[in-house]
Amino acid sequence: MRQIRQLRWLRANGRAGLPVTALLALSLGVGGVAVAQARPAAASGVHPGPVTPSARMTEPVTPATAHLRITEGQVGEVGPGRTILYPSVTSCLTVTVRLRDGGKVGAHASLFQVPGEYRSDRILAAVKQRLGTRGVRAVEVRGAVGAWHPSYFTRAIESYAEGEQVPVPSKPDPEGLARAVADGLGEPRGKVTVEDLPDGDQTVD
């Protein structure tokens, strides 16, 4: 738990933007490693909202905008033919839902909550709410697969009290993550793919 407190201190003091190789060395327990996320990039095209537990969603991209930037803890949507940009995906996971009409709903899930944005155990519910009854063609999960335990989508690291043991991944679990995302969105497991793609910006056309 000492390392978790240290990572939270680093985030609170704006020092969480360390290289992912250094962050991977911060062990949370025997046989397990967790990673602090990079400092959030500046929001672009996102309307401000109140700091609440449910956080906020980005607005759908307008026709005049070529792409939508979705930063840590945010959910957004673009129409057919438009692009989503996820900046600074170091210890994060992105979830992109491809709709049958050609549009996309995206989420940038972070290990530690960015103030005012979605926690990891609430972000899938926000995506599901945005989807409504629209048909889903596919779900793509990308990012730091090895840093994520599937349970983070149902119970965020912040929800553990002092002294409680936080589960940490002993090895990458793409199948577990796929099942967790499928369950969270209420979609069949077969629609979800998982790709280990950490440490950089992601662009989804």
Q: Give residue-wise pLDDT tens across range 56-101.
A: 555 544 444 568 999 999 999 999 999 999 999 999 999 999 999 9
Q: Torsion angle, CA of 125/131/136/140, rounded to 10 degrees?
A: -50
Residue 164: count of CB within 10 angstroms of its CB: 8
Q: State the average pLDDT over residues 150-179.
A: 97
Q: Rounded distance, CA 169 to CA 52, Å?
A: 29
Phi-psi region of 97 (alpha: psi -120 to 50; beta: other; left: phi over 0): beta
The H-or-E segment that residue 193 falls in is: strand 192-196
Q: Is the pLDDT confidence value at 161 over 60?
A: yes
Q: Rounded distance, CA 140 to CA 106, Å?
A: 9
Tokens of 204: 């989804």
- Percent of the chain having pLDDT more than 70? 68
Q: At how many degrees (to 10) do helices 174-185 and 123-131 cross?
A: 50
